[in-house]
Structure 1
Amino acid sequence: MALPNEHASLAEQIERLLSAGGPLPVVAAGDPVLRRPAAPYEGQLGPALLARFVEALRLTMHAAPGVGLAAPQVGVGLRIAVIEDPAPVPDEVRVTRGRVPQPFRVLVNPSYEATGPARAAFYEGCLSVPGYQAVVARHAEVRLRGEDEHGQAFDEEFTGWPARIVQHETDHLDGVLYLDRAETRSLASNQAMAELWAEPAPLQAARALGFDLPD
């Protein structure tokens, strides 16, 4: 549990971040905050400051744009993340990737576990690793536990692309970047993705670049 002066220091850090207004600066890979496990949220910010911080995370996620953002990505080492995915994709992509709309949600102290053996591999990107994407094999189904911003506990199962999103964001809170789990031979610039590997599943990329996909 954090000491009172640590609470004050953290609150002051967030007040400074919020004072500029608008989207928050997103921290890029190489910053140590992305590699440290985030501290559990235990009321360090108080309800009003937490609500302002959550709204700033939401604004920053929308502006990026992205479908998720974790507090360490804006330099704050707390186990808080937000997700939201309107899923504006063609039907073929929606079906292949299991990408369905997700409403805005706040994840406080989340943790996940696989609920089945299946894994799915798709290209994935990250706001903290701008300009690149890589194929990551993740659990196709997970059970996510945690709380919302009001302290209400949740225990839910996610499948398809929503399962990928919650794994990606929860990993951030453990100091893990998607590159740690990626097929390194699949790494591609956004330009290469647009020109070569825009298919719903990375089958052609696997053959051309020489990496394996899960069965």
Structure 2
Amino acid sequence: MLHEDGALFGRPSVVVAPGATLIPGWLSRDVQQELITCSRQWAMGPAGMRRPRMPDGSSMHLRSVCLGWHWKPYQYSRIADDVDGARVRPMPQRIKDLARAAVRDSTQLDPAVSRNPEGFSPDAAIINFYDDDDRLGMHQDRAEDNLAPVVTLSLGDSCVFRFGNPEGRARPWRDLVLQSGDLFVFGGPSRLAYHGVRHTLPGTSPADLDIRRGRVSVTVRETGLLESWT
């Protein structure tokens, strides 16, 4: 069953599972536009946008660009060797600040999100671009060397996001509609929960947002990797 908007009272914040929170409308419209504009610039490269390939050679049903660390299934590196061989762009301080605030606010809603929200030290971001027919299969975020919370910011078209459990891809799961400006954070007992994007909802982007089409997600993580930037 989809998370229903409260037309009369607005969309309330939700504890989806222990350690997993949804805060609707967390980003102001100005910040949403700022992130969309920056995402376009990051996508142009160097180390720009590409369609990631799975280890078996198949392509994922989305395009992405990385900051801080370059991710490809299922490893991190400093070099975008599946794009142009360029060094990945540094993690912007603006993204770090937003992610830290996201973890603080989510932990206030559910203390299970993080035992030490002030210690959250994000160092990698994956910006995913979803066209009308794109999706992301159920998976775990396991490439990191710690279990710090994962922060996701949604921009543009809404999507149906499936959030499951740490044991496998089967039920129980919960389907949620993530709209532009929404914040979703999962940590603690839900940090290794399987999750994915079932499909986007074309044409649902706010009319005053300059995104043209599709959905953008900004997912921020703390890798725990110790290699210095220099």
What TM-score do the two structures reach when normalised by structure 2?
A: 0.25
Decide which structure has greater strand share: 2
Decide which structure has greater helix share: 1
Structure ranking higher on relative contact order (CA contacts 8 Å, 6+ apart): 2
